[in-house]
């Protein structure tokens, strides 16, 4: 069968399907993983809050020669590998490629985003990006971290990788021109933004804002939902259900507001609450809240 090559460079960004109600841990028979297709080449997976209170999101982007998975979840044992393998196998029915690869990358190195890596250790044609600064720089080819953006080609679907320290030193932000989405990890999401290094965080926001000036951005998608539908109220740390969550996608304008807020509070360590996010400014503040 001849492989159907997808043109990922024309008529972009596409309209994505956001008509999804995310499982929030409150359902009695909730699955361990929820899968939603933004389009036939882009998937969002959520790990159930019943398996871990972080309830992280994982993103799978399919290109002509390979797929990119951003993050691997909060536990070693949950049905991530079989779910991802199934999505890829179904996609390859109409896009056959015997050497199709998978790259497991990370928004940053924290354990709730890397624990599932072990499931892919023996997977053929699979690369796992080391979850540390040296590994990220080496794998993607950064030579002037953090002051550059590099490209990663999935076969006509060229994803931009932006250095994103501030929340964590090896953090990255991924931009997909096909969907117009910035995948922002724990740097920007509707929840508690833990910022141990505020100067680096502000510099990251400014890099992303400068990047946005040259490309169309539809949405920002981070890796958690912690805010509730009530402005300024979050679901407490450790909650195994989040009834009434805020929407997961954020809009580009919220990034500009976040930058203004970060600059305004840079010299004021502490907890700063806004309608759509809560900023924990300072390493001592973050460590104290997380009990470490």
> pLDDT of 35-47, one tens digit each?
999 999 999 999 9
111 in a structural domain? yes
Residue 30: exposure state from Cβ atoms within 10 A (0-12, 13-18, ≥19):
middle
Lay out the sheet containing 172-176: strands in order across. 149-153, 158-163, 172-176, 181-185, 219-222, 249-250
204 in a structural domain? yes
The answer to pTM > 0.95 is yes
Number of domains, the chain: 1
Task: Name the region of 11 (left: φ>0; alpha: ψ -120 to 50; beta: rest).
Answer: left
4 in a structural domain? no
27 in a structural domain? no
Q: What are phi and psi of 262, to 5 degrees?
A: -60, -40
The pLDDT of residue 114 is 98
Domain range holding 214? 33-290
> How far, in Å, are 8, 218, 237 from residue 203 at the CA level?
30, 22, 27
The 10s digit of each residue's pLDDT in 155-211 is: 999 999 999 999 999 999 999 999 999 999 999 999 999 999 999 999 999 999 999
Q: What does each of the 292 residues of the chain score in pLDDT, given as a tens digit?
A: 557 899 999 999 999 999 999 999 988 889 999 999 999 999 999 999 999 999 999 999 999 999 999 999 999 999 999 999 999 999 999 999 999 999 999 999 999 999 999 999 999 999 999 999 999 999 999 999 999 999 999 999 999 999 999 999 999 999 999 999 999 999 999 999 999 999 999 999 999 999 999 999 999 999 999 999 999 999 999 999 999 999 999 999 999 999 999 999 999 999 999 999 999 999 999 999 998 8
Q: Which secondary-structure segment (H or E) carries 151?
A: strand 149-153
22 in a structural domain? no
135 in a structural domain? yes
Which CATH number do you get for residue 69? 3.60.15.10
100 in a structural domain? yes
252 in a structural domain? yes
> For residue 195, what are its two tokens?
């910022």
Q: Which residues contact 10 (CB under 8 A, 6 or more apart)?
A: none
């Amino acid at each position: 069968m001849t492989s159907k090559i997808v043109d990922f460079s024309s008529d972009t960004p596409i309209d994505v399907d956001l008509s999804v109600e995310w499982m929030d841990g409150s359902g009695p028979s909730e699955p361990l993983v929820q899968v939603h297709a933004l389009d036939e080449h882009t998937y969002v997976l959520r790990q159930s809050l019943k398996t871990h209170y972080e309830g992280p999101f994982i993103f799978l982007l399919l290109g002509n020669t390979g797929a990119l998975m951003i993050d691997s979840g909060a536990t070693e044992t949950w049905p991530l590998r079989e779910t991802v393998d199934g999505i890829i196998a179904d996609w390859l029915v109409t896009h056959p490629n015997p050497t199709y690869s998978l790259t497991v990358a990370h928004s940053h190195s924290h354990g709730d985003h890397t624990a599932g890596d072990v499931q892919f250790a023996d997977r053929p044609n699979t690369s796992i990006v080391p979850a540390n600064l040296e590994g990220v720089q080496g794998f993607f080819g950064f030579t002037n971290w953090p002051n550059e953006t590099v490209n990663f080609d999935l076969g006509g679907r060229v994803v931009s990788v932006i250095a994103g320290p501030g929340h964590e030193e090896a953090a990255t932000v991924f931009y997909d021109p096909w969907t117009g989405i910035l995948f922002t990890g724990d740097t920007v999401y509707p929840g508690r933004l833990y910022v141990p290094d505020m100067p680096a965080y502000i510099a990251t926001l400014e890099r992303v804002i400068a990047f946005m000036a040259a490309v169309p951005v539809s949405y920002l998608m981070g890796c958690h939902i912690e805010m509730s539908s009530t402005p300024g109220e979050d679901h407490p740390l450790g909650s195994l259900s989040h009834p009434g969550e805020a929407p997961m996608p954020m809009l580009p304008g919220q990034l500009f507001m976040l930058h203004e807020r970060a600059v305004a509070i840079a010299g004021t360590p502490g907890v700063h609450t806004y309608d759509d996010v809560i900023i924990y400014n300072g390493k001592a503040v973050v460590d104290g809240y997380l009990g470490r």
